[in-house]
Amino acid sequence: MVLDLTMSMAILALLGALATIAGCLEDLESDVGSQSNPNSQVQLAPQMGFLHRIFNKAISGEPISNGMSDVTGGTVTSVLLSAKFYPLTAIVIGAFVAAILYGIYATTSYAGRVASQTRFKQPLYMDIMRYTTPSIIGHNFIVNFCLVAIAYIQYAVLGYPFSIPFLALIWGISVGAIGSSVGDVHYGGEREFQNREFGCGLNTALSGRIVRKAESGLRNSIDNVWFCAKFGGPATGIGLGLTVFFSSWRTTIWGYTWEAMGVGVIILVIMIILNRLTEISVKNAYGPYKEDKEEKEAGSVAH
Amino acid sequence: MVLLDPTTLIDIGLIGLSGALICLAVHFIPVGGAPAAMAQATGIGTGTVELAAGSGLVGLITSSYMLHADPSASMALVMASGALGASVMLASTMLAGGFIYAYGVAVPFASAQVKKDPITGQRQDNYVSKGTQGQGIPTICFVSGVVGSGLGGAGGGLIYSVLMHYYSPLISATSAAAVAGVFTMGVFYVNSVIPSYGVGGTIEGVHDPKFRRVVPKDVFTSVVVSMLCGVVAILIAGGMTP
């Protein structure tokens, strides 16, 4: 389909918005279900004698589990589209089927992981499973809906050469990679270890000693997602939103030319500079930790 | 024998080269694994395979769209498109991740592998907090990651381009794109896993001493394995009918 520039930009904005929502919700789903790298601490805690009421899912690495979920949604959507369903209905049903499948994996992996920790006396809380699983399914449904919608738009409107399931698979893997790299740091580095000293990294001696008390009562995964929704989730959304937007914006404006590639390089340079400015600001705020011996010696000689 | 045809041999060689680029890319990307997710190590808080494949596949989407929109596009332009798609993905991820380290977890960025950042010249060792192997994504890691993901994206674009030129005359364009896309994804995963053994799960980037130690062996392995993948890619074309 050939689109004019205004329409192309409108679709690009829609893709960026869908990606931002998908990125945000994917990270929050991995927080409420406790998946990926931070879950290693949830898994380790009972072995250190810290029993907890946090959901312990980790179906697999985030990219693979989300890829599985989204390719399922994309496949169901494709089947329904070929049966002449209205696209929005097909995407919603596809996303729902995938989310239910994901929920099944979440419950079996939670039960399986806790069962493997019997020797450490970690209980399997049925109320946690009842309250948390619908939240996991709900978050995953929104992620599936957004990513399958992106795949549908890219396939049907923009004319990408790949099929809907394959595009959904790729975006599922990418959203998982971004969620695992960005938002999970907020969950693993901050929320699980709010008892560490402020302004420094996590001492390895604290491994497994996760915070188990909430603002009121014992902490569970719903408390964790409430906290991570303030920063980790939106930051992940920005990560995926920027990826989707800047990977297409250049070619939408400048076409398939070397100019578009040059603009891409400029975007990368701007991002490097932004990271450097953040580094300077944060180094001034929290460091240095060790006294510089050379400076100390130089100072003592001068005196 | 179709495999001894010079054009086919060049295609297999190019797939081997692509594998080498992807393998090299993984070494450039600052991957901190699970410790980085808890601000215990420098780099991005996830695994090598997930990150390299995640960024490379975005490059595959951009390069495939470029080739689809302009079939006469030069191979260099397709590779550049893949490189920039992957680099933009990884740079966005590292930037957003950096914001979390800086303003969510509150740790200064510091490399544990070098005393001074080779790009900015800023001291690193005295910013490494007690009981950690560095934290966050300092400038050298960020630049190394951008360059590495670019190499991976270019490698993905090259494989896709080679396979599309090979499959397109044999089957319909949609089917050719599907087979070439899935095959490229497979080669990505193969070449992301091989370096994981070499780097042992974590590496800070081009400045890490591990880089020089493991790159030659890993790249050689990847070239051999990717060429085997290339032979399979050519052999499966034998059964293709329009």
pLDDT tens for B135-160 read 999 999 999 999 999 999 999 999 99
Give the DSSP letter string of A243-303: HHHHHHHHHHHH-SSHHHHHHHHHHHHHHHHHHHHHHHHHHHHH---S--HHHHHHHHHH-
The two structure tokens encoding residue A268: 């990368």
Beta bridge partners of B166: none
Q: Does B161 touch chain A (CB under 8 A)?
A: no
The residue ranking higher by pLDDT, B237 or A146, is A146
- CB atoms closer than 10 angstroms to residue A49: 10
Query: Is A296 a domain residue?
Result: no
Residue A145: what pLDDT? 97
Query: Is A108 a domain residue?
Result: yes
The two structure tokens encoding residue A18: 């869908």
Mutate to test the interface with A, among B48, B87, B92 (most CBs of A within 10 A): B92
Confidence of residue A293 (pLDDT cuts 50, 70, 90): low
Q: Is the pLDDT of residue A49 over 60?
A: yes
Lowest mean pLDDT among A189-203, A287-301, B30-44, B69-83: A287-301
What residues make up the domain containing A111? 5-256
Report the alpha-carbon distance of residue A214 to residue B98 in Å, rounded: 27
- CB atoms closer than 10 angstroms to residue A262: 14
Least Cα separation, residue A255 to chain B (angstroms): 9
Query: Is A101 a domain residue?
Result: yes
Ranges of each domain in chain B:
15-235
Which residue's entry shows tokens 């680099």?
B87
Asked if residues A58 and A211 have their Cβ atoms less than 8 Å apart, the reply is: no
**For range A81-95, the mean pLDDT:** 96
The two structure tokens encoding residue B162: 């080679």
Which residue's entry shows tokens 């902490």?
A219
**A227-266: pLDDT as tens digits:** 999 999 999 999 999 999 998 899 888 888 899 999 999 9
Confidence of residue A2 (pLDDT cuts 50, 70, 90): low
Helix pair angle (B75-99, B48-69), 10° resolution: 140
Q: Does B45 touch chain A (CB under 8 A)?
A: yes
Q: Is the pLDDT of residue A184 over 90?
A: yes
Question: What are the residues whose beta carbons fall under 8 Å from the beta carbon of B145, sequence distance 6 or more?
Answer: B28, B29, B30, B44, B90, B91, B94, B137, B205
Query: Is A107 a domain residue?
Result: yes
Query: Is A182 a domain residue?
Result: yes
Q: Is the pLDDT of residue B181 over 90?
A: yes
- CB atoms closer than 10 angstroms to residue B220: 12
- Under DSSP, is residue A220 helix (H, G, I), strand (E, B) or coil? strand
State pTM to two decimals. Answer: 0.94
In this complex, the residue of A176, A185, A276 whose CB is nearest that of residue B39 is A185
Confidence of residue B54 (pLDDT cuts 50, 70, 90): confident
Which residue's entry shows tokens 């398939």?
A256
The two structure tokens encoding residue B133: 């192997």
* Residues of B whose CB is below 8 A from A194: none
Give the DSSP letter string of chain B: -GGGSHHHHHHHHHHHHHHHHHHHHHHHS-B-HHHHHTTSEESBSS-HHHHHHHHHHHHHHHHHHHHHH-TT--HHHHHHHHHHHHHHHHHHHHHHHHHIIIIII----B-SS-SB-TTT--B-GGGSPTTSEEEE--HHHHHHHHHHHHHHHHHHHHHHHHHHHHHTTTS-HHHHHHHHHHHHHHHHHHHHHHHHHHHTT-B--TTSHHHHHHHHHHHHHHHHHHHHHHHHHHHHGGG---
Structurally, how many domains does chain A consist of?
1
Residue B3: what pLDDT? 67
Q: Does B93 touch chain A (CB under 8 A)?
A: yes
Residue A22: what pLDDT? 97
Yes or no, beta carbons of B46 and A37 under 8 Å apart: yes
In this complex, the residue of A40, A182, A286 whose CB is nearest that of residue B93 is A182
* Residues of A whose CB is below 8 A from B165: none
Residue A207: what pLDDT? 87
Smallest CA-to-CA distance from B37 within A179, A181, A176, A194 is with: A181
Smallest CA-to-CA distance from B183 within B84, B69, B67, B64 is with: B64
Nearest CA in chain B to A173: B54
Report the alpha-carbon distance of residue A220 to residue A33 in Å, rounded: 10
Smallest CA-to-CA distance from B81 within B60, B110, B99 is with: B60
**B160-169: pLDDT as tens digits:** 999 999 999 9
Smallest CA-to-CA distance from B78 within B156, B192, B20 is with: B156
Q: Is the pLDDT of residue A295 over 80?
A: no
Smallest CA-to-CA distance from A156 within A99, A233, A91 is with: A91
Q: Is the pLDDT of residue B9 over 80?
A: yes
Q: Is the pLDDT of residue B70 over 90?
A: no
* Residues of B whose CB is below 8 A from A177: 46, 50-51, 53-55, 93
Query: Is A299 a domain residue?
Result: no
Query: Is A289 a domain residue?
Result: no
Confidence of residue A298 (pLDDT cuts 50, 70, 90): low
Asked if residues B144 and B28 have their Cβ atoms less than 8 Å apart, the reply is: yes
- H helices then E strands: how many in chain A? 11, 0
Query: Is A33 a domain residue?
Result: yes
Query: What count of CB pairs under 8 Å joins A to B?
Result: 297
**For range A60-84, the mean pLDDT:** 95
The two structure tokens encoding residue A142: 């929104």
Q: A216: part of which helix (H) or strand (E)?
A: none
Report the alpha-carbon distance of residue B235 to residue A152 in Å, rounded: 32
Q: Looking at this predicted complex, what is its ipTM? A: 0.94
